[in-house]
Amino acid sequence: MAGTELAPAEIQVLQDLTILVFAPFVSGAIAHLEARLQGRRGPRILQPYYDLAKLFRKETLVPEDASWVFLAGPVVAFACYLTVPLLIPVLTAYPLPLGYIGDILGGAFILALAGFAVALAAVETGGPYAQLGSSRAMTFAALVEPSILFITFTVALVTTTDLPYFEAAQVRSSFGQAIYPAHLLATVAFFLVVLSDTGRIPVETHASTLEFGMIDEARTLEHSGPPFALLKWGSAMKQLILYVILINVFAAPWGLAGSRQLGPVLLAIPIFIGKALCVGAIFAVIDNSFSKLRLFKITEFMAAAFLLAVLAVLVLYLGGR
Amino acid sequence: MAAVGASPSTLTDAAEVVALLVLLSEFAMLRSSLSRSQVRLYAFQSLCVSVLAAFVAATRHIGALYVLMSLSFVLKVIVVPTIILRLVREVRVDVTASHRLGVASMVLLAIVLSVFGVFVFGRLPIHSRSLPILALALAAAVILVAFLLVIVRNDVVSQAVGFFSLENGVSLASLVLAAGLPLIVEVAFLFDLLVAVVVFGVLMRVHHGRARTLSTRALDRLQG
């Protein structure tokens, strides 16, 4: 059994399935841990799956004036989230054939397209909170963009390409590379970007019910039934995709499958989920130890991420490595 | 992988990370709104500089640097922050929030300044045996950002902390350029710092006694 070789296409499908199947699990585990840290019993770890199952059985309600965009938005976003795992190293250390069709910027573009589709669907409803949420989400996404650009520059200067697989290989190549200042700075900057993109505490209160503080969450207020399920599932997948990039490209690209054998590839799944849970635990601790920034102070947070990313490029410029 | 921490390039990398921490704490001082946390950040920054001094002393076998390092550790990490913290506590002014600009634009301005400093000093044809040239460039950035801190924040504590951290930037630069500087010159530096502490202590007390605030905005007002 362990001797069987998988075709690259099969591994690629497996990468997608890993993200698809385990994203709600990771979200549920983080929510559970967060509740535990606050002294509550918290929801079951598998609760997101029950939520999704329930939502898929419900009927879809569409606001009177909304057009087909309202229903297409969630589907397009979901398709985008299924595309990104083809480009990034989820399970394997070596590049898969489709890994070359898009670099880090390509992945960022697809994620941005998903955000755009959701925002468009939200604006289509005419609901004030949904519109407020999408306007805020687009504004802050634009503010995060410079940091992502400079992180990409760092990767490009280190590897002379901007394919995520090569950055991961570079980090794996030696311990010195992993603690190289530019790499550390870029990793921390990306960590801050993930923090803001997944709607975590210094930027947004996760799972809050107060509309005025909402950014990402407010966009989905008008959706119901299966499209809402797709949106929830999609946002869990987006979170796990960002974790993949943080872990398997920057922070800890170890434990990935080095061959096409069935055994190592399957083994890479639990290792990755374990690493994702560790990162999720860090996020849960941050959620519990900081307070949310006021909306107009979020730019300060983005400025910090930008500072780290710029310093990373500067260090590379002088370090000449 | 076997010789983790032993190879010279890894050590240099670690030294670069510490030098980066010096600059990052300068940025944190610039943006933090509590006087208390500014002073603590200054203590942390001084600790980083002391660690770098110890690193240079160990790699280049300069005994005098150990003396200097322990002196600056005791003074800059323990004595000066304690004195300033006590003064801040006495005047019971906690939140200063004395930014003349928004925090984000201040940080962007500081980024521009440090990019300028890093590029100018990184271009200098200097080869140091003690620390990588990056540390000198970062020291230049620290000095420029410290100037910005003194300029854009208008309260006495920020200006004192900005001045002290300026001294940290200068000692970082001297570690790169002239690690074997005679002990007596460096001790004179530290003595200067102590004089500055006394001056700023007096300034804080007198200013607070007259204006009931630590903000220097009160200095613009006409007295009649």
DSSP string, A199-261: T-TTT--TT---GGG-SSGGGGTT--HHHHHHHHHHHHHHHHHHHHIIIIIII---S-B-SSB
- pLDDT tens for residues A128-178? 888 998 999 999 999 999 999 999 999 888 888 888 888 888 888 877 777
DSSP helix/strand/coil, B155: strand
Parent domain of B27: 10-92+99-213
Q: Give the best residue of B7, B13, B33 to mutate against chain A (max A CB count within 10 A).
A: B13
pLDDT level of residue A264 (50, 70, 90 thresholds): confident
Question: Has residue B94 got a pLDDT over 70?
Answer: no
Question: Has residue A246 got a pLDDT over 60?
Answer: yes
Question: Has residue B40 got a pLDDT over 90?
Answer: yes
What ipTM does the predicted assembly reach?
A: 0.85
Neighbours of B143 (CB within 10 A): 23
Question: Has residue B8 got a pLDDT over 70?
Answer: no
Region A283-308 average pLDDT: 88
CA B48 – CA B194 distance, rounded (Å): 19
What residues of B are in contact with residue A307 (Cβ under 8 Å)?
27, 107, 110-111
How far is A203 from chain B, CA to nearest CA, in Å?
15
Region A99-121 average pLDDT: 89
Of A180, A184, A307, the CB nearest to B107: A307
Question: Has residue A241 got a pLDDT over 70?
Answer: yes
Q: Using the beta-carbon criterion (under 8 Å), do B17 and A304 form an inter-chain contact?
A: no
Of A175, A315, A317, the CB nearest to B4: A175
pLDDT level of residue A237 (50, 70, 90 thresholds): very high
Q: Using the beta-carbon criterion (under 8 Å), do B20 and A299 form an inter-chain contact?
A: no
φ, ψ dihedrals at B153, nearest 5°: -105, 130
Q: Using the beta-carbon criterion (under 8 Å), do A310 and B111 form an inter-chain contact?
A: yes
For residue B184, tell me if it sits in a domain.
yes
Residues of A with CB under 8 A from a CB of B: 174-176, 179-181, 184-185, 297, 299-300, 302-304, 306-308, 310-311, 314-315, 317-319
How far is B126 from chain A, CA to nearest CA, in Å?
13
φ, ψ dihedrals at A100, nearest 5°: -85, -5
Of B14, B23, B24, the CB nearest to A179: B14
pLDDT level of residue B58 (50, 70, 90 thresholds): confident
CA B128 – CA A315 distance, rounded (Å): 17
CA B220 – CA A298 distance, rounded (Å): 33
Nearest to A244 by CA among A39, A16, A37: A16
Question: Has residue A279 got a pLDDT over 70?
Answer: yes
CA A312 – CA A249 distance, rounded (Å): 16
- pLDDT tens for residues B139-171? 999 999 999 999 988 888 888 899 999 999 988
- pLDDT tens for residues B133-142? 888 899 999 9
Nearest to B51 by CA among B69, B32, B31: B69
For residue B219, tell me if it sits in a domain.
no
What residues of B are in contact with residue A306 (Cβ under 8 Å)?
107-108, 111
For residue B120, tell me if it sits in a domain.
yes
Write down the pTM of the prediction: 0.90
For residue B38, tell me if it sits in a domain.
yes
Q: Using the beta-carbon criterion (under 8 Å), do B118 and A314 form an inter-chain contact?
A: yes
CA A93 – CA A72 distance, rounded (Å): 35
How far is A307 from chain B, CA to nearest CA, in Å?
7
Count of structural domains, chain B? 1
For residue B161, tell me if it sits in a domain.
yes
- Rounded to 5°, the CA angle B178-B183-B185 comes to 75
Give the per-residue pLDDT at A3. Answer: 65
Q: Using the beta-carbon criterion (under 8 Å), do B31 and A180 form an inter-chain contact?
A: no
CA A271 – CA A76 distance, rounded (Å): 30
Q: Identify the bridge partners of residue B99 per DSSP, sorted by sequence position.
A: B153
Output the average pLDDT for chain A. 88
Neighbours of A299 (CB within 10 A): 20
Region A188-207 average pLDDT: 86
For residue B224, tell me if it sits in a domain.
no
Of A181, A299, A314, the CB nearest to B13: A181
Nearest to B56 by CA among B9, B97, B5, B15: B15
Sign of the alpha-carbon torsion through A80, A83, A87, A89: positive
